[in-house]
Structure 1
Amino acid sequence: MALSQKRLLAWHRWIGLSLALITCAFAVSGLSRTLTKVVHPPQGVHGPREVMTVADGQTALISTQQAIQAAGMADQPLAALRLRSLHGIPHYQIIGAAPARGPAAPAMGDLGINPNVAWVNASSGELLTDGDRQVALAIASRELRQPVIVGQRLDAFDYEYVFIQRLLPVWRIAEADNPSMRITVSTVAGDISSRHPPLAQVDRSLFSLLHKFFFIKNRELREGFAILLCLGILLLGLSALWLSWRVWRRGALLTIRPAARRAHLWLGLLFGGFAVIGAASGILHTVMVYVAERPPRPNPAQALGLPPNLSPPAQLHAAGDVVELDLRQLDGIWLWRQRNIQHQVRWFAADSDAGGDTSEAATAEISGAEERAAILLGERVWGSAVQLQGLQTTFDNDYPFINRFLPVWRARPVNAPGTTLYLSTDLGNLTRKLDPWDRFQARSFSWLHSWKWLPEFIRVPLLLLTSTGIIIMTLSGLWLWRPRWMRRP
C-alpha cells in the first residue's frame, strides 16, 4: 500500500520530535568545529626543532653502549636510539621496544604504548631524572615562550585530547600564568601534538560529548547508537525534502500559515539535503572506523635490537642546523640518520670499529638510504614486498590533516595494488593504510561531510550557514510541536 502524505507527515513529525535534540547537538558541534578551525588553524606534527650547535658537536660524546648502560636498558631490545639537543646539551633518547598487545600478532605498525623512555646526557653520561617530563617542558617552553607547568601524562584519549590526535603517550602542559591555555607534547615525536586554547577546549568537549557520544563508555553500544541516530536523521531529511516539495508544488510554500510552519518548510527545503548528506556520510564513516580501527602510533614499528658500541662522529651535527641523529639498521648495516631544521635528511655509516673516529671513511654518506628505509618499513608493517610511490609533503583528500604527520612516503604492496601505505621514516612507523574501502570512505567524508571540493572562502561560510540553518529548522519544528497550553487561545 502506498504511503500517504498524511502518514508520511506523521512519521516525519514523530521522528523529528524524537531526534530534535540530537540533531541540534550535531549541528552545534559542527558549528563549533568550523569556527574553531577558522580562529585556530590546525597544525601538523613536524618533529624536533632545537638545533645541535657547533659547540655540541665539538664535545666528546659517550658511546651508544655507555648510554644504554646508564639508562639501565642493556638487557632489553630497543625501539629507537636518538641524539637530540636539550637546552644546548646533546642527549640520547632511548626507547625500549614495547610488547605487542595480547597473544596475537600486533596490528600493522602498532607495538603498543611503551612508557620506558630514558634520556641520558651524551656528554657526561648522566641519566636525566624524570627525563621525559623535563623534555616535554623544554619543548613546550620553546614553543609557547612562556613559563609552563606539567599537568599529567596521558596514556589514553579523553574528552579534550580526542582520538583524532593520533599520538600516545603525551604530556599535557599549561602556561604558568594562564592555565586555561594548554598544549600536549609528544617526546617521541619531539613536537607539540595538539594545541588547546580555551575555544578549542570547548570545541573538543562538544565534539566528544555531542558528536561522538563519548559519555557512552561501551564502544559497540556507542557506535550502534550513532548509526541509529544517523539513520533517523537520514529519514527525517528525506521526508522533509519530499513534504516541502509537495507543498511547493501546490504553490502554498509562500502562503501556508502560521509563519513558523512556513519558515520550517523553507528551512527544510534549503537544508534538508545537507542533513541527508551529512547523515549518510556519518553512517559510512562510523561503520568504516568501527571495521578498521586506527590505533595510536606512539613508537617506531621496527625494533632496533641491541646496537653495538657506536660513537656519533662529531662533524655529523657540527653544521649548525641539525636537530636529530637517529641510529638505524638497514640491511644489517648500522647507520646514523641526520635530519636538519629544513627537514633535509642524510644518512652516514656508523662504524663500530671506529670508536669515535671522525675520518672520511668512518662517516661516509650513504645515498638512497632514505628510500631504502621507507621500503623496509613498508615491508615490515605489511609483511611482504612493497613498491615506493614517492614522497608526500602536503595533505590531500586521501591523506587529510587527521593523519598528522608530514612528510610521508607512499608505498604500494605488490600483492595488493589497490592499497596505499603512508610511511613516516621520521617516526619509524605507518601513519595510514588506505585500501579501496578506506579510500572510498576518506573521499566520501571529504566530499560529503567536509566539502573539501569547495574553495575555503565558500566552504567555511556554507558550513556555518548550514549548521545554523539546521539548528533553526529543528527549533522551529519543536515550536510547532509545543503543547496546547503554550499556544494562544
Structure 2
Amino acid sequence: MKRYLYLWHRWLGIGLCLFMALWFFSGVVMLYVGYPKLTPREHLAHLPVLSLQDCCVDLAAAIDAADPQRAPASIRLSTVGGEPRYLFSYPGRSNVAVDARTGLREGFSAREQALAAARQYDPLAPLSYQGAVQEDLWSHSRALDADRPLQRVQLADADGTLLYISGQTGEVVRDASALERGWNLVGAWLHWLYPLRGVGLDGWWSNLVIYLSLTATAMAVLGAVIGVLRWRIRSPYRSGSRSPYRGFARWHHIGGLLFGVLAITWIFSGLMSMNPWRIFSSATPLDTSAYQGGPLQAPAFPVSAARALSRFAEEGLDARELEWRLIGGEGYVIGHDGAGRTRVLSMSDGQVHNRLLKEVLERAAQAIVPQGNLRSEQLESYDFYYYARAEQSMLGHLDKRLPVLRVRFDDPQQTWLHLDLYTGEVLSALDQPKRASRWLFALLHSWDWLPLLQRRPLWDIWMIAFSVGGLILSVSGVVLGWRRIRK
C-alpha cells in the first residue's frame, strides 16, 4: 500500500509541482498588484462636474429612447466624451446610452468617440487609438460583457495607461497601467491560468482549473501522509537524521512537514474559488427584486435632473454622476462627487439627506418575504462577513462603508442582506452556501481574518512567509520530478 502512495505522489507531483510553484509565486505578486480594473473612485475622479447648461431631457423621454419595451435595471446620468449621457443597463443585454441634451439614443461607439472619452479621462496626455477587441489579456472579466466590443486607447502619460472604452456607451470602463500589465503577466494572468484562454480552450478553462486544483490537492495530501510516515520521531536513521533523504529531496521532505498543511488549504481553497460543481450556488436563491418595489420608471421621479443637480449644489455636493434608485416603491436620486461622497434626494419630500433611514430599508426588505420574519442590525464596525479589503485585491474595489444595515430572513437558506445606508444599494446577499464559501475560500485562501487584516504588516509577513515555504516545497518537487524524468 505504501508503495502505491509513493508512486501516486511521485507521478502526480511530476505533472503538478510546476503549476504549484507558479501559483505560489504569482500569489505573492497578487498581494500587491491586482488584475486591472477601473474602481468606482477612479471612475468618478476622472469625471467633470455635471453641467446644468442645456441639460437635460425628461427622464421618461430618455427611457423611451433607450428601450420603450423594457424597464432598465439601472439609470445613471454621467459625462461621456465631454457630453452628458443617460446610461442604462438591462439584465443580460448590452448597455445603452442616450444623449441627455437631444434625447437621441447613441449608436455604436467607434474611434472618434473612444478618443473623446480618453481625452476626458486625461486632457493632457497624447493619445493613440489601438482598435477594437471583444476580449484580450486585460479584459477577460465577465463584468465587461454588456460593454463589448471594447475600444482601446493608449495614453502617453507617466503610467503608460491603456484605456478600454465601451463600444455600447462610449464611457471608459477599464484602465490598465504599464505597471499593472507588466506585473500581471506573472501575477493574476498566470495565477488564474489565463494563458489557456484565447487559444481555443476557453470552453474548457473552468474545468481545467477545477480538475488541476483537485488533483493538486490530492497530490499534496498524499505527500503529507508520506512525509509523516518517513519522519522518524523516536529512532533516527543511520545517518543520525530523522529524514532519510538528502539534497533537494530533504528540502522537499522537511518543507512538506513545515508547510504542507497550509499548502493543502491554499490549493483546496483555490479550488473552492471556482465554485466547483456549483456547490456554493443555492438551488432556490432568495428573489430580492421586491426590494425595489416596482419597475424603474419615470413616474417615480418627478424631480428633473437639472433640479436634482441644483439641490445637490445647494447642499455643497458638486455631483459628477447621478443615479436613480427605487427603494420600496419610493424614488430617490443619488448624487456622487469626485471623492466618492454621496447625498440622497428623496422624491417624497424633496429633501437632500446624508443617508437613508434604517426604517426605510427595513420596510423595503420586508417586501421580499412579506409573511416571513425579519431581523436587522446596524453594524458600526467590520466583522467576519462584512469587511473592507485593499483596493488591489479581487473585491477591494467594492466600497464597504460604515455603518451598514444587515437584514436576516428566515427563508430556507437563512439569507442575509447587507444594505448601504448611503445609497440603498443591496451590497451583498449571503445565504448558507455563500457563507460557507466565505470560510472555505476567502478565509483559507486570502486569510481574510480581521485580527490579521487590521494589523498589517502582520498579514503581509504571514502571507509572504508561507508563500515562500510553499514555493520551496514546489520548486524542490519540480527539481525532483525533472531528475526522475531524465532517468
Q: Is TM (by shorter chain) over 0.5?
A: yes
Corresponding residue number in structure 1 for 2:311:
316
Corresponding residue number in structure 2 for 1:107:
none
For residue 206 of structure 1, report the CA deviation from its aligned partner. Answer: 1.8
Of 347, 352, 358 in structure 2, the residue corresponding to residue 365 of structure 1 is: 352
Corresponding residue number in structure 1 for 2:264:
276
- After superposition, the Cα gap between the structure-2 partners of 1:304 and 1:367, relative to the gap in structure 1 and judged at 3 Å, is farther
Of 395, 399, 416 in structure 2, the residue corresponding to residue 406 of structure 1 is: 399
User: What is the aligned residue count?
Assistant: 444
For residue 435 of structure 1, report the CA deviation from its aligned partner. Answer: 2.9
- After superposition, the Cα gap between the structure-2 partners of 1:50 and 1:390, relative to the gap in structure 1 and judged at 3 Å, is farther
- After superposition, the Cα gap between the structure-2 partners of 1:121 and 1:219, relative to the gap in structure 1 and judged at 3 Å, is same
For residue 321 of structure 1, give the secondary structure of its aligned residue in structure 2. Answer: coil
| AA aligned opposite 1:113 | G
Corresponding residue number in structure 1 for 2:333:
336
In percent, how many aligned pairs have the same letter?
17
Corresponding residue number in structure 2 for 1:4:
none
Q: Are 1:175 and 2:183 matched, yes or no?
A: no
Q: Given that residues 406 and 424 in structure 1 are in contact (C-alpha distance below 8 angstroms), is that contact kept between their aligned partners in structure 2?
A: no
Q: Distance in 2 between matches of 1:255 and 1:94?
A: 65
Q: Are 1:217 and 2:203 matched, yes or no?
A: yes
Q: Distance in 1 between matches of 2:110 and 2:291?
A: 20
| AA aligned opposite 2:445 | H
For residue 471 of structure 1, report the CA deviation from its aligned partner. Answer: 2.5
Choose 475-484 or 20-29, whichever is displaced more: 475-484
| AA aligned opposite 1:275 | A
Q: CA offsets, 1:204-236, max 9 Å, x none?
A: 332332899994725885476246414422433
Q: Distance in 1 between matches of 2:443 and 2:419?
A: 25
For residue 422 of structure 1, give the secondary structure of its aligned residue in structure 2. Answer: strand
Q: Given that residues 94 and 145 in structure 2 are in contact (C-alpha distance below 8 angstroms), is that contact kept between their aligned partners in structure 1?
A: no
- After superposition, the Cα gap between the structure-2 partners of 1:472 and 1:247, relative to the gap in structure 1 and judged at 3 Å, is farther
Q: Distance in 1 between matches of 2:381 and 2:169?
A: 21
Q: Are 1:85 and 2:85 matched, yes or no?
A: no
Of 401, 421, 435 in structure 2, the residue corresponding to residue 439 of structure 1 is: 435
- After superposition, the Cα gap between the structure-2 partners of 1:456 and 1:91, relative to the gap in structure 1 and judged at 3 Å, is same
| AA aligned opposite 1:443 | W
For residue 159 of structure 1, report the CA deviation from its aligned partner. Answer: 6.1
Q: CA offsets, 1:434-481, max 9 Å, x none?
A: 234432432343443233454234134314412421222212331552
Q: CA offsets, 1:395-429, max 9 Å, x none?
A: 97655553442136443233159542234689986
Q: Distance in 2 between matches of 1:395 and 1:27?
A: 33
- After superposition, the Cα gap between the structure-2 partners of 1:429 and 1:469, relative to the gap in structure 1 and judged at 3 Å, is same
Q: Given that residues 217 and 264 in structure 2 are in contact (C-alpha distance below 8 angstroms), is that contact kept between their aligned partners in structure 1?
A: no
For residue 241 of structure 2, give the secondary structure of its aligned residue in structure 1. Answer: coil
| AA aligned opposite 2:430 | L
| AA aligned opposite 2:6 | H
Corresponding residue number in structure 1 for 2:2:
8
For residue 352 of structure 2, give the secondary structure of its aligned residue in structure 1. Answer: coil
Q: Given that residues 388 and 412 in structure 1 are in contact (C-alpha distance below 8 angstroms), is that contact kept between their aligned partners in structure 2?
A: yes
Corresponding residue number in structure 2 for 1:292:
280
| AA aligned opposite 1:405 | L
Q: Distance in 2 between matches of 1:410 and 1:78?
A: 26
- After superposition, the Cα gap between the structure-2 partners of 1:261 and 1:141, relative to the gap in structure 1 and judged at 3 Å, is same
- After superposition, the Cα gap between the structure-2 partners of 1:136 and 1:73, relative to the gap in structure 1 and judged at 3 Å, is same
For residue 32 of structure 1, report the CA deviation from its aligned partner. Answer: 1.5
Q: Given that residues 152 and 165 in structure 2 are in contact (C-alpha distance below 8 angstroms), is that contact kept between their aligned partners in structure 1?
A: yes
Q: Distance in 2 between matches of 1:143 and 1:393?
A: 35
Q: Are 1:115 and 2:94 matched, yes or no?
A: yes
Of 17, 20, 28 in structure 2, the residue corresponding to residue 26 of structure 1 is: 20
Corresponding residue number in structure 2 for 1:354:
none
- After superposition, the Cα gap between the structure-2 partners of 1:381 and 1:481, relative to the gap in structure 1 and judged at 3 Å, is farther
Of 303, 307, 313 in structure 1, the residue corresponding to residue 298 of structure 2 is: 307
For residue 115 of structure 1, report the CA deviation from its aligned partner. Answer: 0.8
Q: Are 1:206 and 2:190 matched, yes or no?
A: yes
Q: Distance in 1 between matches of 2:100 and 2:44?
A: 17
* TM-score using structure 2 length: 0.71
Q: Give the gaps of 5 or more residues in structure 1.
A: 1-6, 99-111, 352-360, 485-489
- After superposition, the Cα gap between the structure-2 partners of 1:226 and 1:89, relative to the gap in structure 1 and judged at 3 Å, is same
Q: Given that residues 114 and 170 in structure 2 are in contact (C-alpha distance below 8 angstroms), is that contact kept between their aligned partners in structure 1?
A: no
For residue 398 of structure 2, give the secondary structure of its aligned residue in structure 1. Answer: coil
> Pairwise mapping of residues 94-133 of structure 1 onto structure 2 (< 5 A)?
94-95=88-89, 98=90, 112-122=91-101, 124-130=102-108
Corresponding residue number in structure 2 for 1:49:
45
Choose 36-45 or 185-194, whichever is displaced more: 185-194
Q: Given that residues 327 and 364 in structure 2 are in contact (C-alpha distance below 8 angstroms), is that contact kept between their aligned partners in structure 1?
A: no
Of 218, 230, 236 in structure 2, the residue corresponding to residue 250 of structure 1 is: 236
- After superposition, the Cα gap between the structure-2 partners of 1:248 and 1:141, relative to the gap in structure 1 and judged at 3 Å, is farther
Q: Distance in 1 between matches of 2:228 and 2:252?
A: 13
| AA aligned opposite 1:325 | L
| AA aligned opposite 2:261 | G
- After superposition, the Cα gap between the structure-2 partners of 1:327 and 1:231, relative to the gap in structure 1 and judged at 3 Å, is closer
